[in-house]
Amino acid sequence: MPHLPSPAFTIVPHPEPVPDAQRADRLVDPGFGRVFTDHMVTIQYSAGRGWHDAAVGRRAPITLDPACAVFHYAQEIFEGLKAYRDDDGRALLFRPMENARRFRQSAERLAMPLLPESLFVEALERLVRIDAAWIPEGDGSLYLRPFMIATETFLGVKPSSTYLFSVIASPVGSYFRSARSALAVWVSQDYSRAGPGGTGAAKCGGNYAASLLAQAEAIAHGCDQVAFLDAAERRWVEELGGMNIFFVFNDGAIRTPAVGGTILRGITRSAILTLARARGLEVREEPYALEAWREDARSGRLREVFACGTAAVVAAIGQVRTPQGDFIVGDGQEGPLTGSLRAELTDIQRGRSGDPHGWTHPVP
């Protein structure tokens, strides 16, 4: 595909946006992913025309033919990032170019067209600008969900020739409803999220579909999240259903599994690595076995474990349940490093402290 100029956006504001008082009500305790803003972005793609018909308009259902490719072969990718309101009322995005880059990598893996990074970021900025009143005050944020689906009406198995890129937005509070101060995770023995050569490093809906039965098993065992082991040996801890994982040891070192194609390269993960290194902590990206996790928790060598991701932010893991028995990390509560890394990260994201790494992106 030759490089075509990015399309200009048509902007048609919603004629009847949610009234102020109703919006204020919905922002009080939005939970995660159930409240939506007034608008959405859509951009079409076809092999002949490239990206075209970029629009910001009212949020509305998408009508597709029942034979549309995405319904049958799951050619779909997405991203997740948040807009925050700082004390001066500005909207801040956190490292949106990283999401733009990962979206392109996911597109490549799913045989989809590559959206220019500048167009991805422009789409986010336009939606945040028009729906700025939906960014919650306080600890909340506006979760942005860019996604791309295959739209060709055809049942043959091949990459679609047409696509829809869209961005929707959802004001959110905490991802976890649980009253616990630390999460409980269930280590899945029977199900894998990703395997060598598969799509584990891509953010595609199919990975989440594959995780749902294991997540349901986690819930049935009284846990908040499922933790996956590697598919080949079922020995090495990889990540959770929707978060990366970190281990904190009594010698001050922290460790997270290296991303080798089966783990999502989290943007929060990368930020935590940078913050920890800047504190002078020893940081290792290397494999960690479930049995070492159990033994180190028992001996006290392992002090803290936490999950991290856009939706979850940084969340302590206190209890681990496995078919071979349960164990507790530390005293089962959030540890000090987990809390202080979360505070440092969220202060940067919300513009409350300096931005030494150039991560915040004010929406112009």
Beta bridge partners of 181: none
C-alpha to C-alpha distance for 54 and 309, rounded to whole angstroms: 29
**Footprint of ligand PLP on this chain (CB under 6 A)?**
80, 239, 242-244, 264, 266-269, 309-310
Classify burial at 144, counting beta carbons within 10 Å of its beta carbon; exposed 0-12, middle 13-18, buried 19 or more: buried
Among 167, 168, 311, 345, binds ligand COI (CB under 6 A): 311
Q: In angstroms, what is the minimal distance from the CB of 244 to ligand COI?
A: 10
* Nearest distance in Å: CB 245, ligand PLP: 9
310 binds ligand COI (CB under 6 A): yes
Nearer to ligand COI, 168 or 302 (CB): 168
Q: Is 330 in the site for ligand COI (CB under 6 A)?
A: no
Q: Which of 17, 173, 309, 330 binds ligand COI (CB under 6 A)?
A: 309
Out of ligand COI, ligand PLP, none, which partner does residue 269 contact, by CB within 5 to 8 A per kind?
Answer: ligand PLP
DSSP string, 244-294: EEEEEETTS-EEE---SSSS---HHHHHHHHHHHHTT--EEE---BHHHHH
Q: How far is the CB of 222 from ligand PLP (least distance, A)?
A: 21
**SS3 of residue 153 by DSSP:** strand
Residues 6+ apart with CB under 8 A from 304: 247, 248, 316, 329, 330, 334, 335, 336, 337, 338
Inter-residue contact 211 to 84 (CB < 8 Å): no
200 lies in the binding site for ligand COI (CB under 6 A): no
Q: Does the footprint of ligand COI cover residue 30 (CB under 6 A)?
A: no
Q: Does 171 bind ligand COI (CB under 6 A)?
A: no
242 binds ligand COI (CB under 6 A): yes
Residues 58-97 that bind ligand COI (CB under 6 A): 80
Helix (H) or strand (E) holding 101: helix 96-109
Judged by CB under 6 A, the stretch of 41-49, 216-224, 303-311, 346-354 that binds ligand COI is 303-311
Which of 314, 31, 309 minimizes the C-alpha distance to 173?
Answer: 31
Burial of 22 (0-12, 13-18, 19+ CB in 10 A): exposed
Shortest CB 306 distance to ligand PLP, Å:
12
Residue ranges that bind ligand COI, judged by CB under 6 A:
80, 242, 309-311
